[in-house]
Structure 1
């Protein structure tokens, strides 16, 4: 199993790479504890009418649901390496999946399985630290964005993190590594904090 770039350890089956009964419980917990972060990221997304949006590491599918309900996005695609999370996201969004508004597929940050220049916006919430290869993830997400497209990458933190989130926060040197990896693939990279998120906005894939 590949190791996480941020820690050098293998992803656990609870939340990093959910699998089996423990992974299903992890997904249930994530759906309840991460919603506020996902709403804050969505508030920065500025999704325009008809845009195609890709969520990488969609987990139980809460943000996919919010994108469909609260934005005028045309097509929304989610990719995740966990079969349990793909099943949970499909069940949570069953009507939108059936209609074709939302698509759910197997994929990772470094291998999304999506075509070149296919999306206007890519979002990754609470999974950048568990990617096996940070540079490969940045390159892949730049590849699937259209010219002028934008990427939102978020991790636990912000100005008022919960006690649970504080245990997951990345040190400053790791956050700097994320910014540098994105800067190697995008013309513009900015970093900001919301109440619960350390958020990176990258625009203009190279």
Structure 2
């Protein structure tokens, strides 16, 4: 892990280079493992999102790209913004066809610096990244900026009704879950927390309807 990597807002420590922010050969191995361990959570989020026909979608921190593929099945266009070079390489390799067809784009960036213009997407989704962002408020502000009017933000983290055994140590304390809600309410009118089987999900929109 590079010395310049900032600590996460939840722990004050630098994310590890195996699974949290994969880097090097160990990170590539971690990304390959994530394809297996996180697939159930990503399927739950894809189901929660519903049909994406005609929508432009941004996924923050797609890792090896499992959810990217699910999103690209129905969305008009999907952009994946990923800080890890190793994870970008895995995602690009996995979705070369969709990239060649201009339905999918994978680029460098993170929650606080997506590189997208204002009001660029209808939906932003991120699975298992929000707790390792360096700056929660900066991330939420950036994702609000790139959303179109009445756009939807969906942030998911390990938890849910029955957390996977391998993820139980990662479940956030209630005070940290409230901190995420507060950050979202500072930028969105409608904020809701729901549970799937393995995910704690925050949904935010800029309309009260």
Residue in 2 that maps onto 1:187: 189
1:47 Cα deviation from its structure 2 partner: 3.6
Give the match's secondary structure for 1:25.
helix
Whole-angstrom CA distance in 2 between matches of 1:176 and 1:41: 21
Alignment correspondent of 1:131: 133
Aligned to 2:6: 2
SS of 2:170's equivalent in the other structure is coil
Change (3 A) 1:198 1:94: same
Match of 1:55 among 48, 55, 59: 59
- Cα distance between partner residues in 2 of 1:180 and 1:46: 26
Question: 1:46, CA displacement in angstroms?
Answer: 2.6
Q: Secondary structure at the match of 1:186?
A: coil
Unaligned runs of 5+ in 1: none
Equivalents in 1 of 2:205, 2:167: separation in Å?
A: 27
Is 2:34 the counterpart of 1:22?
Answer: no
Tell me what 2:101 maps to: 99
User: Paired residue for 1:177, among 176, 179, 186?
Assistant: 179
Contact 2:193 2:201 in 1 (8 A): yes
Note the alpha carbon deviations across 1:27-77, whole angstroms, 9 max, x for none: 0111101011011111111343210000000100000011123xx210000
**Equivalence for 2:46:** 42
Q: So what's the TM-score if we normalise by structure 2?
A: 0.95
- Name the CA distance, whole Å, in 2 between partners of 1:166 and 1:48: 31
TM-score (normalised: structure 1):
0.97
Matches of 2:129 and 2:184 in 1, distance apart? 15
Q: Is the 8 A contact 2:52 2:71 kept in 1?
A: no
1:122 equivalenced with 2:124 (yes/no): yes
2:156–2:202 CA contact under 8 A, matched in 1: yes
In 2, Cα distance between the equivalents of 1:198 and 1:73? 24
- Cα deviation for residue 128 of structure 1 reads 0.3
Q: CA deviation at 1:152?
A: 0.4
